[in-house]
Chains A and B, each alone.
Chain A
Amino acid sequence: DVKVTQSSRYLVKRTGEKVFLECVQDMDHENMFWYRQDPGLGLRLIYFSYDVKMKEKGDIPEGYSVSREKKERFSLILESASTNQTSMYLCASSLRPGVAASYNEQFFGPGTRLTVL
């Protein structure tokens, strides 16, 4: 079974702090994703990565950066946390999309509920 883990289930930080959210997958997936989920807004893509050291902006990258130094690990960084970044953060992974449609199946981690005070 694919397993995606996230470093924390709950996190409380103060405004202005630098925050690191870590995500690790154990299935050698090429693609990894960071989403945030807010009531009424659904899941929104922040960043994704399709290979080591590669990253692409999603729909709402402002205020975030990412790092992918190893294939299994994808980090989301809040350089200076703000209260409007209080949210549920979800990490996902998938094989690279290819001719075989099954490569597109996404698998999610348990999520991190971040509160910025």
Chain B
Amino acid sequence: GIQVEQSPPDLILQEGANSTLRCNFSDSVNNLQWFHQNPWGQLINLFYIPSGTKQNGRLSATTVATERYSLLYISSSQTTDSGVYFCAVVASTSGTYKYIFGTGTRLKVLA
């Protein structure tokens, strides 16, 4: 089945720094999402981005489906950005769809 790998697994930043999180997937996918899991455990939708580039405030994401990767950019990081970032892809096999999550990048932003 499809493998989804995220890097780096852990990241510590000083407030105000920029960062890039990467999501690689091993086969073609129908779509891709980025989530932020806050300290209370809820997964917050950041981007639905099967291809192309999107921006939302200090966050932006780019997916290059032909090369099987997606990048999440965080600029001017804040302590509230701390948490775990997941990418998830949807793959179809024999007409059924499955959501596959990466293992996450744990981000800590220091004041």
Size of B's binding interface in residues, CB under 8 A: 23
* B101 pairs with A101, CB closer than 8 A: no
Known: A97-B90, A97-B92, A110-B41. A102 touches B101 (CB 8 A): no
Q: Which of A45, A105, A106, A111 contacts B41 (CB 8 A)?
A: A111
Q: Which A residues fall within an 8 A CB radius of B?
A: 9, 33, 37, 42-43, 45, 88, 90, 92, 97, 101-102, 104-111, 113
Q: Which B residues fall within an 8 A CB radius of A?
A: 30-31, 33, 35, 40-45, 48, 50, 86, 88, 90, 92, 97-99, 101-104
Residue of B nearest to A96 (CB): B97
Which of A42, A45, A109 is the most central at the interface, judged by chain B CB atoms within 10 Å of its CB?
Answer: A42
* A108 pairs with B30, CB closer than 8 A: no
* A110 pairs with B42, CB closer than 8 A: yes
